[in-house]
Structure 1
């Protein structure tokens, strides 16, 4: 009789509790390097309920800069980072015992634009010679891609122009607005806002010039991935749903979806920026970071003199989750 009562107790009380625990919403803390329309699929995944559908609760924090983003990951202040994949190479080169691994790609081109202070008719890259160029942080993907593109057009950034790199990432737009530099490298929507306000003029796209590169990826410490494989897979699945959604919907529809994340930006401007990024293929259409893109990344880093050492694709890139969700 006691055994029957015990079995009844297990069936009625214990098993439902275990099931409820397994189905409980899992929180994932995400640190994004900046807030940008460039990351539209992430915000779509939040607003269209794709994370919620996977049983995930996303706590999104903007950390404003690659160094701060990696500090958040390494100090366990975040579970997942959205940042340039070059940062994982820097951490690995320092001999980390718990490397940061890229598991899902979000963007596949550079997301910055060349903005001129004065209106330039029929811009050509040789017009940068002799100018003052307000660049991005040394060692970061925007700056490395900027130098890569300039060299591609036979401009030596170390001798053919005055390169400014000592301005903090968050202060670059205000520095240019206050008079620093003839040209500046800016993300959207700042580039378009400056154009609307007459503070500058977009003359070229670094994304169009650089080719495909794993510009921004989701990454976590290897220990986190091993301990939370199911959550990482669900996270990747939500991102893939969002990538497909963005690819299948108009710029206006995407802009309307992500508008809550850009309350101070006019809907028409958000739409313009989404259209611009879509046209140049900036949004990855799946989360798989392939070997060719990884090698292109390291070539760009090497050209900029910032590659500490070459790292094999399989060492810092985990495509298992991405390939599984795409295959399904």
Structure 2
């Protein structure tokens, strides 16, 4: 974009902040269309059975982290993340996190919502990445999440 070869791009943070700082504008937040499953934890049934207590501990930790991200001011979240992203400007961390918080990007918990699966599956089908969409129940089992959070 800076070289004038692109008119627009879909960017994640902190790249959106960098474009804004260079005079570009954010004109649409793709996340405003609803939940999409960008990140998930995957395991086989055998792997879940073999490591159930450890996986449940990870799920509880993830639930706590998601709750903290939703409750903390963006600056506080950015400060916690700073050691992991030393090359990202502090102002970009804060602005990017605030933008994601305002969009409700982080779910309230680690349950994998059917809506997010459906939206991701539709995008993958439309792009040709998959030829057919498997049923949600064939791919996602939230039982371990529900069990871990009881």
Deviations 1:74-126 (A, max 9, x none): xxxxxxxxxxxxxxxxxxxxxxxxxxxxxxxxxxxxxxxxxxxxxxxxxxxxx
Q: Which stretches of structure 1, 4 residues or longer, exceed 4 Å deviation after superposition?
A: none
* Alpha-carbon distance in structure 1 between the residues aligned to 2:57 and 2:2: 42
Confirm whether residue 245 of structure 1 aligns to residue 46 of structure 2: no
Matches of residues 45-60 of structure 1 in structure 2 within 5 Å? none
The equivalent of 1:197 in structure 2 is: 22
Which of structures 1 and 2 has the bigger CA Rg?
1
Q: For structure 1, which runs of at least 5 residues remain unmatched after alignment?
A: 1-175
The equivalent of 1:263 in structure 2 is: 86
Aligned length: 150
Greater helix share, structure number: 2
* Alpha-carbon distance in structure 2 between the residues aligned to 1:275 and 1:233: 29
Deviations 1:221-260 (A, max 9, x none): 4443232111111111110010111111111111111111
The answer to whether the 8 A contact 1:240-1:325 is kept is no
1:320 maps to which of 135, 143, 150: 143
Q: For structure 2, which runs of at least 5 residues remain unmatched after alignment?
A: none
Q: CA deviation at 1:202?
A: 1.8
Q: CA RMSD in A?
A: 1.8
**TM-score (normalizing by structure 2):** 0.88
Q: CA deviation at 1:269?
A: 1.9
Query: Relative contact order (C-alpha < 8 Å, sep 6+): which is higher?
Result: 2
SS in 1 for 2:105: coil
**TM-score (normalizing by structure 1):** 0.43
1:281 maps to which of 104, 111, 116: 104
Deviations 1:267-287 (A, max 9, x none): 222111111001111011100
